Structure 1
Amino acid sequence: MDSSNTAPAGQEHHPDCMRAQALAALAATAWPDKLARVRAIADDAMLDCQRVFAPMDGVPGRPPLPELVAPAQVRQRSMATQEGRAALLHALAHIEFNAVNLALDIMWRFAGMPEAFYRDWLRVAREEALHFDLLRRRLDALGYAYGDFPAHNGLWDMAERTCGDLLARLALVPRTLEARGLDASPMIRNKLAGAGDTESAAIVDIILRDEIGHVAIGNHWYKQQCVAAGKEPVACYAELAKRYDAPRLRGPFNLEARRAAGFDDAELAALQAG
Structure 2
Amino acid sequence: MEIRAFAEQVLLSPDIETKLLSRSAEVWTDEQPGPELRVTEPTRTPQLQFAPRRTAPGMPSPGALQSPEKRAIAHHIMANHELQALEVMAWTLLAFPHAPYEFRRGMVAVMADEQRHTRMHIERAAKLGLVFGSLPVNCYIWKKAMSFTSVLDYVAGLPLVFEGANLDHSLELADAFSAAGDERSAALMRVIHRDEIEHVRFGLEWLRKLKPEGLSDWEAFDRHLHWPLRPTKARGDVFQREARLQAGFTPEFVDHLEIAIDEPSDDARTPG
Q: For residue 237 of structure 1, what is the aligned residue in structure 2?
A: 221
| Shift of residue 73, structure 1, vs aligned partner | 5.5
- Whether the 8 Å contact between 1:20 and 1:108 is mirrored in structure 2 is no
Choose from 185, 190, 210 the match for 1:200. 185
The equivalent of 1:166 in structure 2 is 151
SS at match of 1:152: coil
Task: Give me the whole-angstrom Cα distance separating, in 2, the residues matched to 1:72 and 1:180.
Answer: 24
In the comparison of the two structures, how many residue pairs are matched? 253
For 1:54 and 1:135, the matched residues in 2 are separated by 32
1:37-186 equivalences under 5 Å are 39-40=22-23, 43-48=26-31, 51-55=33-37, 57=39, 59-66=41-48, 68-70=51-53, 74-77=57-60, 78-162=64-148, 164-186=149-171
Find the aligned partners of 2:90 and 2:9 in 1 and give their Cα distance: 9
The 1:41–1:80 alpha-carbon spacing in structure 2 relative to 1, beyond 3 Å, is closer
Residue 65 of structure 1: SS of its match in structure 2?
A: helix
| CA deviations over 1:56-90 (Å, ceiling 9, x no partner) | 54642222224524358633442121111111111
Residue 273 of structure 1, CA deviation: 2.3
Change in 2 beyond 3 A, CA 1:184/1:85: same
**Cα 1:144/1:158, change in 2 over 3 Å:** same
Q: Which is worse superposed, 170-179 or 245-254? A: 245-254
Post-superposition CA distance 1:71-111 (Å, at most 9, x none): 58633442121111111111111111112112222222213
Q: Structure 1 52/86 Cα, relative in aligned 2: closer, same or farther at 3 Å?
A: same
Distance 1:201 1:41 in 2: 26
Contact 1:30 1:63 in 2 (8 A): yes
Residue 218 of structure 1 is matched in structure 2 by: 203
AA of the residue aligned to 1:137: E
User: Is the contact between residue 38 and residue 95 of structure 2 (CA under 8 Å) also seen in structure 1?
Assistant: no
Given residue 268 of structure 1, which amino acid in structure 2 is its aligned partner? Answer: V
Extract unaligned runs of 5+ from structure 2: 261-272
State the Cα distance separating 1:122 from its structure 2 match.
0.5
Shift of 1:112: 2.7
What is the CA distance between 1:26 and its match in structure 2?
Answer: 1.3
The gaps in structure 1 that reach 5 residues or longer are 1-15
Match of 1:214, SS state, is: helix
Corresponding letter in the other structure for 2:16: W
1:230 Cα deviation from its structure 2 partner: 4.7
TM-score between the two structures when normalised by the length of structure 2: 0.84
Give the structure 2 partner of residue 24 of structure 1: 9
Instruction: State which drifts further: 194-203 or 106-115.
Output: 106-115
Asked if 1:33 is matched to 2:25, the reply is: no
Deviations along 1:217-270, one digit per CA (max 9) or x if unpaired, are 11111111015x5533212222233x4431433543211111112221121111
Report the TM-score when normalising by structure 1. 0.84
Q: RMSD over aligned Cα, in angstroms?
A: 2.2
Letter in 1 for 2:224: L
Instruction: Give the Cα separation in 1 of the matches to 2:227 and 2:40.
Output: 23
Report the 3-state secondary structure (helix = DSSP H, G, I; strand = E; otherwise coil) of the residue aligned with 2:58. Answer: coil
User: Is the contact made by 2:153 and 2:224 (CA closer than 8 Å) also made in structure 1?
Assistant: yes
CA distance in 1, matches of 2:131, 2:11: 21
User: What are the equivalent positions in structure 2 for 1:2-17 lying under 5 Å apart?
Assistant: 16-17=1-2
2:264 maps to none
Tell me how far apart the structure 2 counterparts of residues 231 and 140 of structure 1 sit (CA, whole Å). 47
Q: Which amino acid aligns with 2:42?
A: P
Corresponding position: 1:190 with 2:172 = no
- Shift in alpha-carbon separation, 1:73–1:19, aligned structure 2, 3 A: closer
